[in-house]
Structure 1
């Protein structure tokens, strides 16, 4: 986007076009104004519109500009943390609510794609969390025990079965999650936007919010060329937040994440690499992820930013790593390269904020945006509609606060990823 091939890379190359939308020009009145055109905002808009609520959605840039259009495309259930940690951190009531909600989130994604005929390369054969060494195997075995105790369709695959499914003998085993899958993330965002627009949502792009004003029990949300008057504001701008809700961005530390997409692999090679089209990531602290797209490109990513010295460092590391993991590919050539920013909260869990009367939002997805963002959008639609009270939401209300040492941590993560990728090969 914006003539930057490293912003959305392969996803912009292969996604269907976005729905037509222009900047807000003039003053309008509606029931709810939603700020942010990612998964949460689009899902909230769609679910509210289907209830007959009048909706205006303001996106500062283009639909899917933030994490929704840049991520790997893994549809996961739950968060990075172990299931048992959620009740410990959030308390038994909210911990159990969040686990139940997020455990079923991938199913909602599938249902929306089917219901609205969204063309986004959906694959439903699950994901593989690949174990690096003995410690990695112990980690996924514990994760499997905890999810299995909750009835989730997960299982441990041994090294031989993992090698058969992945196409490399690099892993000690893997955790297969049957709830999960992959999709084309920007195509999914654009598909949600089209569905929302068809349901009556007014979409406005290139319309960053500059200020808000409370007047006669309503909110006036102002942009450069117009305003929206509404009873409710849903803040869904996540880690790319600016303006009145910049605190949402400041509450999170940016973790840069890049992806490279190979040229389409040959038919013979594709028989040996992810023949089941599962999405994968490993247990390393500086993790890697990989999956195939519809055309047979291998999308391979890790922590780091493709800018300044990082571009050459991470590209060279990706080539070395792919050659070690999948020597059957031969010469590694890339069709696309891009990166984005994952917003990390201080406890790796999302937040529910009430910024003012009738101004609410979820944020802090920690790299798990597709399924959580979609189901949080539906949840906030239920809350705005009066179907779920604040006390019955899946997360407690918390005050948004800037994370300590945020800038220093961001510098450390970007530089540390380069050092790690310079210092060592993958295995």
Structure 2
């Protein structure tokens, strides 16, 4: 996108095209104006349009331009936070409520894929969270215990079982989560957008919101080409936020994350790597992620930004790490490289804000956008429709608070990833 091969890489190359979403031209009126064309905004627009509401969605570039079209494509259940921490962090009502919602989020994603016939390489075969050393295995054992006590279909695998599932590696074990899976993220969000358009929503790309104001009983969102007036406002831009209140733009630390993809692997090699087609990531602080795509490529990623001079550091490390885990890939490199940004909150939990009368915003996915974005978009729609009160939403309402020294922290993550990748996997 924007003639940048490192923005969406493989996903743009293999996703079905998006229908035309022309820029907003002139004044328009709707029941709801949605700002942001990622998982949350498109899901909200789809569910609102299916309920008969007039919806106009404004996207600064095009659907899936932000994190939704760039990520690994792991459809995970839950968040980074341990299950037992949720009630302590969010209280005895919202903690269990959020656990239940996000535990079932992958099922909701795959149901939408099936219901709307979305061509997005969906594979609901589970994910593998791989343990690095004894400390990583202890963490996963505790995570398995906490989810297992809640009836989740998770299994802690030992080192031999993990190696068999992966086809390589020397991990101490892995947590197999059968609720989860993988998909092609840009294809998924474009498929949701096509479904929203069929349901009657209007989507305008190349329509960055330059101003939001309250005029009488309505919200007015202004773009370079026009403006939308609506009683309800939904802000769904997350880590790519450039509209809305200043506090929303400053409550997350930005973490860059990249992916690289091999060419389609020869069949003899493909059969030896992740034969169950699970998606994977590990317990390192600067983690690695890897998963196959439908054509038999391996998509390998980690923390880092693919700009000069960092690109060469991250690419060379990714080759070393991939060949260490899968020696059968020695001699095979990467043909696609892309990156985006993840928004981190201090406690790794998302945020729900009500920035004005009949206005709502949910953000802060901390790298878990597919499942949460989909179900939070549906919850937003239910709130707008009057089916869910603010008290019944999956998160408690909070005030947006800027993270102190957020830019310095973001630069620290970026520099730390470079340092780690300069040194790691050289032996």
TM-score (norm 2): 0.99
* Counterpart position of 1:99: 99
Secondary structure of 1:221 counterpart: strand
After the TM superposition, which of the residue ranges 92-101 and 206-215 deviates more from structure 2?
206-215
Tell me the distance in 2 between the aligned counterparts of 1:50 and 1:230. 18
* Counterpart position of 2:213: 213
* Counterpart position of 2:375: 375
Q: Per the alignment, do residues 128 and 426 of structure 1 end up closer, same or farther by CA in structure 2, a change over 3 Å counting?
A: farther
Per-residue deviation, residues 144-180 of structure 1 (Å, max 9, x unmatched) = 0000111111011111111111011411111000000
Secondary structure of 1:322 counterpart: helix
Counterpart check, 1:268 vs 2:268 = yes
Q: How does 1:231-380 map to 2 (within 5 A)?
A: 231-380=231-380
Aligned residues: 427
**Cα offset, 1:248, TM superposition:** 2.3
* Counterpart position of 1:58: 58
Tell me the distance in 2 between the aligned counterparts of 1:212 and 1:183. 34
2:11–2:187 CA contact under 8 A, matched in 1 = yes
* Counterpart position of 2:402: 402
2:169–2:326 CA contact under 8 A, matched in 1 = no
Tell me the distance in 2 between the aligned counterparts of 1:164 and 1:266. 20
Q: Per the alignment, do residues 188 and 246 of structure 1 end up closer, same or farther by CA in structure 2, a change over 3 Å counting?
A: farther
Tell me the distance in 1 between the aligned counterparts of 2:88 and 2:309. 41
* Counterpart position of 1:118: 118
**Cα offset, 1:246, TM superposition:** 4.5
* Counterpart position of 1:149: 149
* Counterpart position of 2:48: 48
* Counterpart position of 1:88: 88
Tell me the distance in 2 between the aligned counterparts of 1:230 and 1:20. 23
Q: Unmatched 5+ residue regions in structure 2?
A: none
Secondary structure of 1:91 counterpart: helix
* Counterpart position of 1:422: 422
* Counterpart position of 2:12: 12
Secondary structure of 1:206 counterpart: coil
Per-residue deviation, residues 327-382 of structure 1 (Å, max 9, x unmatched) = 11120221200011000001100000011111111100000000000000000000
TM-score (norm 1): 0.99
* Counterpart position of 1:24: 24
2:16–2:187 CA contact under 8 A, matched in 1 = yes
Tell me the distance in 2 between the aligned counterparts of 1:111 and 1:253. 32
**Cα offset, 1:78, TM superposition:** 0.4
Tell me the distance in 2 between the aligned counterparts of 1:19 and 1:398. 36
**Cα offset, 1:309, TM superposition:** 1.5
1:132–1:283 CA contact under 8 A, matched in 2 = yes
Tell me the distance in 2 between the aligned counterparts of 1:136 and 1:219. 48
Per-residue deviation, residues 279-307 of structure 1 (Å, max 9, x unmatched) = 00001111000000011100000011011
Per-residue deviation, residues 362-405 of structure 1 (Å, max 9, x unmatched) = 10000000000000000000000000001111111111111111
Tell me the distance in 2 between the aligned counterparts of 1:290 and 1:260. 9
* Alpha-carbon RMSD: 1.0
**Cα offset, 1:426, TM superposition:** 7.2
Counterpart check, 1:77 vs 2:77 = yes
Counterpart check, 1:67 vs 2:67 = yes
Q: Per the alignment, do residues 217 and 169 of structure 1 end up closer, same or farther by CA in structure 2, a change over 3 Å counting?
A: closer
Q: Unmatched 5+ residue regions in structure 1?
A: none
